[in-house]
Structure 1
Amino acid sequence: MNRFQQLTDSLTIIAIFIVITLIALLVFELGYRYGRWWQERTPEEKEGPTGMIVGSLLSLMAFLLAITMGMASDRFHKRHALVLEEANSIGTTYLRAGYLPEKEALLSRKFIEEYVLLRTGSGDTDEVSSRIAQSVVLHEELWRTAEQLAKNNPHSPVLALYIESLNDTIDLHETRIAAGIYSRVPATIVILLLLGSMLTMGMVGYNAGLTRRRSPVTAIVLIGVLAAVITLIIDLDRPQGGFLKVSQQPLIDLQQQISPSTSSSQ
């Protein structure tokens, strides 16, 4: 995670929206004042192709917004799909743990119940890091038990089924980490989107200054919509801490199925 993503993740979604809106309004106003100053300085000069350039910039920004929105949306839906896939994998592992000898089965299922509790949690970066570390410890405990049983029963087909599902669960843990923490919209694209938006709003204000005609309501609506779309992209791309959060309901349902007494006591 680079410094830009660390900065955006440290801000609330509302704060990001307000900052983008205020900067865009400032840039628009500066562009308008500069356009008026330039027109007063050179009254004989015609407006030129500024209006056409502004229209082209707006079209380009709409195209870039659509592409970036698609990238962020795809990553968001992937994280959502991985929650369901992980819930199914953990549930299968829990059921197949019944194939183990009674002592190992009870111990493994206890570890899996603790693991589900960790996977349903969410929070700030420090809490997420702690949950990941605890999950790895449980992986090691579960794998150590399975490994010992495999050495004692190398030809057991039911044990092989359990180990296969356990391996899938461990792999999905790494996949979710990659999708949630590292698979983000490249910061370069988001920065380009922000800079392009500010440049476009400056040109819109400059064109209004040249013509000495501007509509505050139109400018506010345009800036508000632009800021809302960019904020939505950032929110979709954040692994946690925004308005749009990946539902953990499949894991919550699994937790209630395998440990109803624990779920009801919380």
Structure 2
Amino acid sequence: MNPSTFNPWVYSAALFIGLILCVFVGFQLGKSSRADGGSGALNGAVFGLLGLLLAFSFSGAAERFQHRRDLITEEANAVGTAYLRLDLLPAAQQMALRQKMQKYLQARLETYQHIGNNTPAALDAYQRSVQLQHQIWTEAILAAQHTGNTAILSLVSRALNAMFDITTTRIAATRSHPPKIIDFLLFALSWISALLAGYGMTEHKRIPWLQVIIFSAALTVTIFVIRDLEYPRLGFIRVDSADQLLVETLQGMQTSDT
């Protein structure tokens, strides 16, 4: 559940400034060597490689982003189903279990609400949810066994298993990111492409700064968006709106008990 070790603003600023500098250096190298623009085929190969890497990175980040949203829906369904299965248990045990289930869902919400701030509150909420898992499981299974009905025991245990298993799946999805070498590769390949672009501008007397700035800004924003998708609790593109499903599930639990 650890956030990115790279500050996205510092990363993007360094990338943008580096792109402009690389274009300038490439232009100066081309002028000093009196190059005719270099090999178009080789330049095209590098630019194509950069485009391919950007496409795969964006596609993977978008797919993981959607997967995280889907997992929130899956957890909301799992919690709602488990809560309804409590109706199968003896009435004397239902109220205490319902209260624990509500506290559990509240702890789950707090875990992901605080995770983007990288504060101990996220870990505290997570540990509280784990403790409630053990309490809910023990009490619910004991109550189901007292009914003497194996069908009830099976239904309740399966619903609770699904509710608890999704927490591990969500944690795994939160930690699922491409290797850091991909970030460095995007960084380095972008600079190399800018260097080649500047080297190929020898037919110009001066650097066309407007085009250079637009190129650098477009590439920087694209990579920024890719990283934003990878860490949807930290940036502008967030999965927080999907948490509303869990909030509505909690509200439904509280309303049904009043």
Same fold (TM over 0.5): yes
Letter of the structure 1 residue corresponding to residue 135 of structure 2: E
2:137 is the alignment partner of 1:148: no
Using the alignment, how far apart are the partners of 1:17 and 1:104 within structure 2?
Answer: 55
- Using the TM superposition, give the Cα deviation of residue 254 of structure 1 relative to its aligned residue in structure 2, in angstroms: 0.8
2:225 counterpart residue number: 232
Candidates 78, 84, 90, aligned match of 1:89: 78
Letter of the structure 1 residue corresponding to residue 16 of structure 2: T
User: Which sits farther off after the overlay, 205-214 or 17-26?
Assistant: 205-214
User: Which sits farther off after the overlay, 215-224 or 114-123?
Assistant: 114-123
1:255 counterpart residue number: 250
- Using the TM superposition, give the Cα deviation of residue 210 of structure 1 relative to its aligned residue in structure 2, in angstroms: 7.0
Partner secondary structure for residue 241 of structure 1: coil
2:192 counterpart residue number: 199
Partner secondary structure for residue 125 of structure 1: coil
- Using the TM superposition, give the Cα deviation of residue 144 of structure 1 relative to its aligned residue in structure 2, in angstroms: 1.5
- Using the TM superposition, give the Cα deviation of residue 155 of structure 1 relative to its aligned residue in structure 2, in angstroms: 3.7
Q: Tell me: CA distance 1:75–1:67, structure 2 relative to 1, closer, same or farther (3 Å).
A: same
| Root mean square deviation, CA, Å | 2.4
Using the alignment, how far apart are the partners of 2:29 and 2:203 within structure 1?
Answer: 9
Q: Tell me: CA distance 1:209–1:68, structure 2 relative to 1, closer, same or farther (3 Å).
A: same
Candidates 10, 13, 17, aligned match of 1:22: 17
- Using the TM superposition, give the Cα deviation of residue 212 of structure 1 relative to its aligned residue in structure 2, in angstroms: 4.1
Using the alignment, how far apart are the partners of 1:236 and 1:84 within structure 2?
Answer: 18
Contact 2:25 / 2:198 at 8 angstroms: preserved in 1? Answer: yes
2:201 is the alignment partner of 1:208: yes
- Using the TM superposition, give the Cα deviation of residue 140 of structure 1 relative to its aligned residue in structure 2, in angstroms: 0.9
With normalisation by structure 2, the TM-score equals 0.87
Q: Tell me: CA distance 1:33–1:49, structure 2 relative to 1, closer, same or farther (3 Å).
A: closer
Unpaired runs of at least 5, structure 1: 40-45
Unpaired runs of at least 5, structure 2: none
Using the alignment, how far apart are the partners of 1:6 and 1:25 within structure 2?
Answer: 26
Contact 2:12 / 2:220 at 8 angstroms: preserved in 1? Answer: yes
| CA offsets 1:120-140 (integer angstroms, 9 cap, x no match) | 231223333232222111111
Letter of the structure 2 residue corresponding to residue 65 of structure 1: L
Letter of the structure 2 residue corresponding to residue 80 of structure 1: R
1:43 counterpart residue number: none
Question: What is the number of equivalent residue pairs in this alignment?
Answer: 250
